[in-house]
Structure 1
Amino acid sequence: MKTRTLKKDKVNIITLGCSKNMVDSEVLSGQLRANDIDVVHESGKKDHNIVVVNTCGFIDKAKEESINTILDQVALKKGGNLDKVYVTGCLSHRYREDLEKEIPEVDAWFGTMELPLMLKQFEADYKAELLGERLLATPRHYAYLKISEGCNRTCAFCAIPLMRGGHISRPIEELVKEAEGLVRKGVREILLIAQELTYYGLDIYKQRMLPELLHRLADVKGLEWIRLHYAYPSKFPLEVLDVMRERDNICKYLDMPLQHASDPMLKAMRRQITRAEMTDLIHTIRERVPGICLRTTLITGFPGETLEDVEELKGFLQEHRFDRVGIFTYSHEEGTSAHGLADDIPAAEKQRRAEEIMEVQQEISFEKNQEKVGQVFRTLIDKKEAGRWLGRTEFDSVEVDNEVIIHSKEKLPIGEFVYVKITKAYDYDLEGEVVDAPEKS
């Protein structure tokens, strides 16, 4: 018997993919810790004997990264450096049978909703009383709050419903309790996530309840910022804008993936909205919440996309001047309705189109950042890196948006707010200096 097997188990969780996966890993960590099992997240110390890989199966690149990570861990097991390798998450949920045959060295595979089954591998009990309790893998001052699971939308390109199932909202009381617990741990900002925020409540309350949820969360004492990610544009509940305008701790920030702008593409993608309707919605959002930061995500290279469609998308960006834009190249996913179409655009051409579109956005982003020079922003300090302090404004989310670079000889408190005057602007970042809080008018 190996000496290491006589030691107490230590589990390392490796998380791939989106923030929703991150929350799942945090919940697993909390359950293991409650069962007196030592657990870490993405540890580099190599003092663990068990690994759980939480995979992503969203697009081809994510699948490849997940499989490579699994193979790396299997190699460590073969070399005697690990006792067990378990795999969970979206890739495992979707391709379990194939993966079991291809990588038999993995000790067990689990789907996205099989946490209790996974715990049995550790001879651990699922503790329902820990609802909302998690070990944060993020810095202690911000956390993701997943308000629902799954999705009822039928977008032609998306395989998420195949991996996560239909939409299931979490009760408001449960979410408020979790938010209160996060604040007690030192969290100042929560980022609301779901496959589709605006559908929240339709299943359990029979009406869209995101506005009510926001009001309840805004009442949580000590919660400084509430940020909205992944809103669907069709039938957007406009009452959300009133809450955002009325409540000071709800960031004037909205992440609303639009995916495309040409009507033929929107129809082919099954987005249930037209360009004209999106334009009306954008104008309404900006009228009701002056100064709001709008982030969107786009897809290029969808089957049948023409160069005219690309030009229309570029024109749409120039017309609406979004603050933040992310872009994906189309991935041909089995089980989606688009998989029946010919994937007729070469990968290199998809990438060329994406880069061409982002060149348009890069210029817009630079111009918008230049407008911020001389302004003062309340800024949350995230970390110190390479001798510089890095923070974010109300208009910037974690990892995907601008950072504020601050040069300061004084130690700045990580997880606290300071006021920063912007002195320089780049395409995607700002630079500034700490100043006194502006006087309230």
Structure 2
Amino acid sequence: MKTKTLKRDKVNIITLGCSKNMVDSEVLSGQLLANEIETVHENEKLDHNIVIINTCGFIDKAKEESINTILDNVALKKKGKLDKVYVTGCLSERYKNNLEEEIPEVDAFFGTMELPQILKQFEADYKGELIGERLLATPSHYAYVKISEGCNRTCSFCAIPLMRGQHVSRTIESIVDEAKQLVKRGVKEIMLIAQELTYYGLDIYKKRSLPDLLHQLAAVEGLQWIRLHYAYPSKFPMEILDAMNAHDNICKYLDMPLQHASNNMLKAMKRQITREEMEDLVTAIRAKVPGICLRTTLIAGFPGETRDDVEELKTFLQKMRFDRVGIFTYSHEEDTTAHDLEDNISAEEKEERAHEIMEVQQEISLEKNAEKVGRVFKVLVDKKESGRYLGRTEFDSVEVDNEVIINTNKKLQPGDFVMVKITKAYDYDLEGELV
């Protein structure tokens, strides 16, 4: 008879990709811990014997990182340093059969919606009552909250519906309950995430219900900041902005990926909106919420993109003057409708175009930051690094936006809110003194 080892299993979860993946990893961690299985996230001590890799399959670079991470851990297993390697997430959902064939050393591959099947590997039960019970991979003062899964949009470049399925909203009650649980644990800021926020509620409430959700979340005692990520511009529900104006704890911040500004490109990308409509929307949003911070994301090098398209995008940025801009280079994804088009722009040229576009935004960002010098802002302290405290205003989200360097001799803690007078402006950061 085989005897059980005296050493208890310790699971390390490695998360790659977006904040939505991070939430999935946190939920998995909470389930394992509730089943009395020791679980850690991104363990640096290397004293674990089981690894679960939550992969990303969004673009080529993300796929490459995911595969390399799998291979690195398989190599550790071959050396006897790991007992088991499991793989889940978007890459596994999309390429499971290929991966099983190419990397047979992995003990099991799981899709994006197969949490109960992962738990079975540990003889653990899925506990449906664990709303908000997550092992936070973020610092304890902020957390991501996923309000829906999947996407019904048909953007020609995007493989996410292939990996995450159709749009499925969570109930308002479950989201509010989760927010309350997170606040009890010390969370002060929640970032609402979904593949597409503005579609929220259409499936279960038969209407766009994000404004209703926001009103209820804003009433959660102790929740000081609510931030909106990934809104779709077509048919944007302006009632979202009424909720923003009605509650001080809804950040005057909106992350709205536009992807391009040339009508040729927008049509080829199947974005269901024109440049003129986007300009009208941005103008209307700013009129309704003065001082709002608008973040957008763009794609450089989509098939058929011409120099004229690039110039139009640069002109659009100069005209609309977004507060924050991120950019991806186009990745040719199988089974998307854009895959039928010829990927006719070299990787080097895509990078060059992205760099050129961001140079325009860099100048805008510096000018906008310079306007803040001399003003006082409420800042959330995130961390201490190299002897200085770093934080964010309500106009900045984690990792992707500006940081505020806080000069003070006073001892601060992550999660503290402080008032800071801005004394210096940089391209993408601010510096100031505690008031």
Q: Distance in 2 between matches of 1:231 and 1:2?
A: 54
2:416 maps to 416
Q: Does 1:324 align with 2:324?
A: yes
Change (3 A) 1:127 1:311: same
Change (3 A) 1:425 1:254: same
2:75 maps to 75
* 1:130 counterpart SS class: coil
Aligned-pair distance for 1:156?
0.3
Q: Which moved more, 1:4-13 or 1:235-244?
A: 4-13
Aligned-pair distance for 1:131?
2.9
Q: Does 1:269 align with 2:265?
A: no
For the 8 Å contact 1:112–1:163, the answer to whether it is kept is yes
For the 8 Å contact 1:383–1:390, the answer to whether it is kept is yes
2:58 maps to 58
**Structure 1: which amino acid aligns with 2:190?**
I
Alignment map for 1:251-290 (pairs within 5 Å): 251-290=251-290
TM-score, normalised by the number of residues in structure 1: 0.98
1:427 maps to 427
Q: Does 1:293 align with 2:293?
A: yes
1:439 maps to none
Q: Distance in 2 between matches of 1:328 and 1:336?
A: 17
Aligned-pair distance for 1:146?
0.2
Q: Distance in 2 between matches of 1:6 and 1:17?
A: 35
For the 8 Å contact 1:132–1:174, the answer to whether it is kept is no
**Structure 2: which amino acid aligns with 1:115?**
L
1:88 maps to 88
Alignment map for 1:137-156 (pairs within 5 Å): 137-156=137-156
Q: Distance in 2 between matches of 1:44 and 1:236?
A: 43
For the 8 Å contact 1:390–1:405, the answer to whether it is kept is yes
* 1:318 counterpart SS class: helix
TM-score, normalised by the number of residues in structure 2: 0.99
Aligned-pair distance for 1:5?
4.4
Q: Does 1:162 align with 2:154?
A: no
**Structure 1: which amino acid aligns with 2:82?**
L
Q: What CA RMSD, in Å, does the superposition of the two structures yield over aligned residues?
A: 1.2
1:438 maps to none
Alignment map for 1:170-189 (pairs within 5 Å): 170-189=170-189
1:338 maps to 338
For the 8 Å contact 2:131–2:177, the answer to whether it is kept is no
Q: Distance in 1 between matches of 2:2 and 2:297?
A: 50
**Structure 1: which amino acid aligns with 2:110?**
F
Aligned-pair distance for 1:406?
1.2
Change (3 A) 1:364 1:123: same
Gaps of 5+ in 2: none
**Structure 1: which amino acid aligns with 2:427?**
D
Q: Distance in 2 between matches of 1:228 and 1:194?
A: 9
Change (3 A) 1:5 1:64: farther
Aligned-pair distance for 1:171?
0.2
For the 8 Å contact 1:380–1:416, the answer to whether it is kept is yes
Aligned-pair distance for 1:407?
2.1
Aligned-pair distance for 1:6?
3.0
Q: Distance in 1 between matches of 2:335 and 2:218?
A: 39
* 1:7 counterpart SS class: coil
Q: Does 1:369 align with 2:369?
A: yes
**Structure 2: which amino acid aligns with 1:217?**
L
Aligned-pair distance for 1:2?
13
1:210 maps to 210
Q: What is the CA deviation profile of residues 103-145 of structure 1, one whole-angstrom value per residue up to 9, with x for unaligned ones?
A: 0000000000000000000110001111332111100000000
Q: Distance in 2 between matches of 1:368 and 1:247?
A: 25
For the 8 Å contact 1:200–1:210, the answer to whether it is kept is yes
Aligned-pair distance for 1:4?
11
* 2:348 counterpart SS class: helix
Change (3 A) 1:306 1:39: same
Q: Which moved more, 1:130-139 or 1:289-298?
A: 130-139
2:99 maps to 99
Q: Distance in 2 between matches of 1:134 and 1:342?
A: 44
Gaps of 5+ in 1: 436-441
**Structure 1: which amino acid aligns with 2:354?**
A
**Structure 2: which amino acid aligns with 1:227?**
R
* 2:152 counterpart SS class: coil
* 2:52 counterpart SS class: strand
Q: Distance in 1 between matches of 2:265 and 2:402?
A: 29
Q: Does 1:312 align with 2:308?
A: no
Alignment map for 1:189-204 (pairs within 5 Å): 189-204=189-204
* 1:129 counterpart SS class: coil
Q: Distance in 1 between matches of 2:174 and 2:230?
A: 21
2:32 maps to 32
* 2:145 counterpart SS class: strand
* 1:186 counterpart SS class: coil
Aligned-pair distance for 1:51?
0.3
Identity of aligned residues (%): 78
Q: Distance in 1 between matches of 2:51 and 2:420?
A: 42
Q: Distance in 2 between matches of 1:294 and 1:129?
A: 37
